[in-house]
Chains A and B, each alone.
Chain A
Amino acid sequence: MNRQLSLLKVKNLSVQFRLGDEYATALRDVSFDVHAGETLGLAGESGCGKSTAALAIMNLLPENGQIAGGDVWFQGKNLTQLPLKELRKYWWKDLSIVFQGALNSLNPVKTVGAQIAEAMIVRNGMDKMQAWDRVKDLFRQIGIRPERISEYPHEFSGGMRQRVMIAMAICLNPKLVIADECTTALDVMIQTQIMNLLKELKSSLELSMLFINHDLALIAEICDRVAIMYAGRIVEIGPVRSVFFEPIHPYVKQLLNALPRMEDSISRLHAIPGTPPRLQEIPEGCPFLPRCHQGDRRCGLEVPLMAEVYPDHWANCHKINPTGRK
């Protein structure tokens, strides 16, 4: 799997949440790489663990969550072993994150410009003049008139706030940006504008991205590779076109069948029967078994291992025969 230089290497990462007297395993043995200059998509239904993965990488898990195993390697350093003080040095400069709710992430009583400038002054020791010049440049880059740097978040529309969050995430030229559902609350037209902005930044800044989204169509648009998650595990990972045109895992196949299209002649979509398991009681064996129409006894006993079926395209399903083909 190490054909290219990997910037971020997540290895066997597991995360548990304490919920009352129960433990929920939100992430189980998750492994993936983000190569330099690449955008990896992380997709799946709500509760499958995609945001947990982002939070675990950034060490931002809530109080009741903890990394139960595994490593996060970033440029040769194991982030899970670093004390918070050391880890903070990576934030913004090396690793940054864009969250979903831009309004909640911005300080309502500070101008947007000041918030971005502050990040640069505190993190990078820039002087004020330098920082404000950089804010103006950033605004030009994200398509907002630089005169507006001294406005407050409430004077901005939802789409513009999301642009500000993106500007903040790239202000110190990080190597990796994690975009966690960064287009989700937006209208489709604004969403497209944000996607175009991300694509532009991706090529002009040679950004690497971990693009987390529940919308597979958006993932397909911007990502080089995609990992599909189910019940805390990655079930399939590979180059975007390969995964979408030749899905291997029954879950991925059915998920793709449930997505609306604009140019087919199918009059009815098919839902996946059943619901994902509760994270407190994930069944033994393959977690998708209760909803799978191909499952058999073995699936209920052993967790399937990842196998490379097509070049660089991996899936974990017992129904893939040893030669790789289904």
Chain B
Amino acid sequence: MQKEGSIVRVQNLNVWFRARTRFFDFWRSASRTFIKAVDGVSFDLNKGETLALVGESGSGKTTVARALMQLIRGAEGNIWFDGRNIVRTNRAERLRLRTQIQMIFQDPFDAMNPRETVLKIVAEPLNIHRKDLDAKRRVALVSKALRSVGLSPPEDFLNRYPHELSGGQRQRVLIAGALVLDPILLIADEPVSMLDASLKVEILNLLVELKRKRPLTYLLITHDLALTRYVADRIAIMYLGRILEIGPSQSVLASPLHPYTQALINVVPTLDRVWQQKQVLAGEIPHPSNIPLGCRFHPRCPEATGLCSKSQPAMKETEGQRLVACHLR
């Protein structure tokens, strides 16, 4: 069950996809392989906080988000939301959930229909979930959402098309669309990774501001540790389908526990650390159809011991509400 103050509790979530093997293998069901995109993920999302899910591509962070959004079939484990287990839902329940959980996507250019006006784009969730509203009320709610993301006066934007907007304005429109139903949880999947440096800051600052005014909780999915610092309360580090470390962002970044977190922080390119020596890990993330035995990070870990290749470390609690999955900590 959920604990007090948490809005989402994910317990031992698994999302395995069946790997497409060679054409002639399809009847040899015995040799089926799975791509373990998410493999035993557990975390709590507390009311009002921003939790950043950080990892390289292929680490499974987007899959976690999609499982939360009910955009994926075949998720196993538990996802508690609002007192209910939502890992398997029916259509009616999914509809209800989507009024409470909303998502913003990475690419503000791809996520909009170029032939729809801003009004139509932002009003779309209302058309599905609030059929009771008349046109006037709908415009009023859309205007309110536009104003809250800094697109004011809203009348100037309602009838514009995506190509008439700048990149920052587009991302704002998408955020307005996510907010128009007043959700309590907003999942932002790399919301700024396609934007220029200054725009990144603009949109992140907007998200921070929105949370001050509304009872919102964020799950922020990102690969950018440096930006995470300025917006997230807690950070969870994912690697190959599993969370390796989770804790308050300041302490995770200042004194990372897991060797992978240390390595990741070490290579973040920021101007204040340019001229420092960087220890880079050799090799690349293994493919999720072929997860190493024992600790999944051990083949690349500079500190690995014999134990690490044999048994998978469990998450254990250390000081200051930090959790880490490493035999050596």
Contact = CB atoms under 8 A, between A and B. Distances in A.
A157 B285 CA distance: 10
Contacts of A191: 267, 269
A217 interface: yes
A189 to B, nearest CB: 6
Contacts, number: 105
B267 A188 contact: yes
A271 B269 contact: no
Q: Chain A interface residue count: which class?
A: 35 or more
Contacts of A45: 196-198
A269 B201 contact: yes
A190 B278 CA distance: 13
Interface in A197-242: 214-218, 220-221
A63 interface: no
B95 interface: no
A260 interface: yes
Contact of B264 (A46, A188, A267): A188
B257 interface: no
Interface in B169-205: 196-202, 204-205
Contact of B56 (A188, A196, A254, A264): A188
A129 interface: no
A189 B263 contact: yes
A259 B280 contact: no
A149 B147 CA distance: 57
B274 interface: yes
A164 B146 CA distance: 46
B248 interface: no
Contacts of A46: 196
Nearest to B197: A258
Interface in A254-278: 254-256, 258-264, 266-272, 275
Nearest to B300: A189
Contact of A268 (B205, B264, B272): B205
B229 A271 contact: no
A312 B168 CA distance: 35
B15 interface: no
Given A159-B284, A271-B202, A261 B271 contact: yes
A217 B270 contact: yes
Q: Which of B224, B226, B253, B265: most chain A CB closer than 10 A?
A: B226
Contacts of B263: 189
B268 interface: yes
Chain B interface main SS type = helix
A244 interface: yes
B281 interface: yes
Contacts of B284: 157, 159, 189-190
A302 interface: no
B230 interface: yes
A26 B208 CA distance: 35
Contacts of B196: 45-46, 214
B227 interface: yes
Q: Which of B223, B272, B275: most chain A CB closer than 10 A?
A: B272
A281 interface: no
A187 interface: yes
Contact of A216 (B56, B202, B271): B271
Contacts of A269: 201, 204-205, 230
Contact of A271 (B198, B271, B272, B280): B198
B251 interface: no
A142 B173 CA distance: 44
B197 A189 contact: no
Q: Which of B229, B263, B264: most chain A CB closer than 10 A?
A: B229
A227 to B, nearest CB: 16
B57 interface: yes
A260 B227 contact: yes
A262 B270 contact: yes
Contacts of B73: none
Contact of A188 (B200, B201, B268, B275): B268
A221 B277 CA distance: 10
A192 interface: yes
Nearest to B195: A46
A173 interface: no
Contacts of A141: none
A261 B265 CA distance: 12
B273 A262 contact: yes
Interface string A47-79: 000000000000000000000000000000000
A218 B208 CA distance: 27
Q: Which of A191, A260, A275: most chain B CB closer than 10 A?
A: A260
Given A196-B280, A254-B198, A261 B226 contact: yes
A193 interface: yes
Given A196-B280, A262-B253, A271 B274 contact: no
Q: Which of A191, A264, A269: most chain B CB closer than 10 A?
A: A269
Given A188-B56, A255-B197, A258-B198, A217 B274 contact: yes
A189 B271 contact: no
Contacts of B269: 188, 191-192, 215, 217-218, 221
7 contacts: A45-B197, A187-B223, A188-B267, A188-B268, A191-B267, A196-B278, A258-B198
Interface of A: 45-46, 157, 159, 187-193, 196, 214-218, 220-221, 244, 254-256, 258-264, 266-272, 275
